[in-house]
Amino acid sequence: MNKLIKGAVATAAGVALLMGGAGTFAYWNDSVGITGGTITAGNLKVAAPATAPSTDGWTVQKNGTGTATTVSTISSFVASPGDKFTLTKTVNVTATGNNLTATLALGAGSITAATTGAADVALAAYLTKTATIAASGTGIAAIGSTGTYSITPGTAGITNSPVTVTVTITYPKDAATVTTAGPNSTAVLNEKASMLGSVNLAGLTVTVDQQ
């Protein structure tokens, strides 16, 4: 009996599968294509321009105030607490998508200690804490005082639109101590610990993320 049931089930399944292969064998049927057009996905991209504008570059203000002095070679500059660095760069933003909104921000890990030395680590900690980004261009607007900017391209979208990005890094003066974490320990440092330190800016990035 059990074998009979199993055999019946298997037969029924086989027939059902055969019926799915090509139409039906019992009813009238027909089909027609619906012309639905195309759906095009949007795009979100930030890229460096082919030629950097002459307005790009570094300036520094002593104690964060007064006239901004142009720094032709930042790697030759020797910083002291109170110095406020400003890097102006132009990037091209492409944002297309009728409902697309995105944010623009400074990438994580943009400032890193040049070595694992205490002075480098302390300087990186101080500079990372103060690094901010500002941006201006078509469709760009600040989101409150969060240091993040919104990109709203609208239905027209923006393509390779130049956006002026300003990264501000302040070497704090009379700052509170910072705590740095190493692989085996943590340390509480003050400004003096950052003397003769060095940080690497190779990872300085602008990120755009859909919201």
Partner 1 sequence: MPRLTQTPSVTVTKRRRSLFSFSNILKSMVTVTVAISLSVLAAGGTYAYLNSAQTIPAGSAGGASTTIKSGSASLVITSGAAALSGLYPGVTKTADFTVSASGSADLALSVSSIVGQGVNGLDIKVAPGTCAAPGTAVAAGSLGVTAVAATTYDSTTTPASTVPLCLVVSMLSSASASAAGATTSVSVNLTGVQS
Residues that bind partner 1 (CB under 8 A): 42-48, 52, 57-58, 60, 62, 69, 71-75, 77-82, 85, 87, 89, 91, 97, 100, 102, 107, 114, 119, 123, 127, 165, 167, 169, 171, 173, 194-211
Tell me the C-alpha to C-alpha distance, in Å, between residue 31 and each of 21, 25, 28, 34, 38. Answer: 16, 16, 11, 10, 21
Cα distance between residue 15 and residue 8, in whole Å: 11
Residue 31 vs 65, nearer CB to partner 1 = 65
Which sign, positive or negative, has the C-alpha torsion 207, 77, 199, 145?
negative
Q: How far is the CB of 9 from partner 1 (least distance, A)?
A: 15
Q: Which of 139, 164, 165 is nearest to 152 (CA)?
A: 139
Query: What value does the CA radius of gyration of the chain take, rounded to a whole number of Å?
Result: 30
Q: Which is nearer to partner 1, 60 or 140 (CB)?
A: 60
Residue showing tokens 């055999």: 7
**Cβ nearer to partner 1, comparing 19 with 52:** 52
Least distance CB 49 / partner 1 (angstroms): 10
CA dist., res. 163 & res. 157, Å (int): 14
List of residues 6+ apart from 97 with CB closer than 8 A? 41, 42, 43, 44, 153, 157
Q: Which is nearer to partner 1, 35 or 40 (CB)?
A: 40
- Name the amino acid, one letter, at 108: A
Return the number of the residue (24 or 76) whose C-beta is nearest partner 1. 76
44/142 with CB nearer partner 1: 44
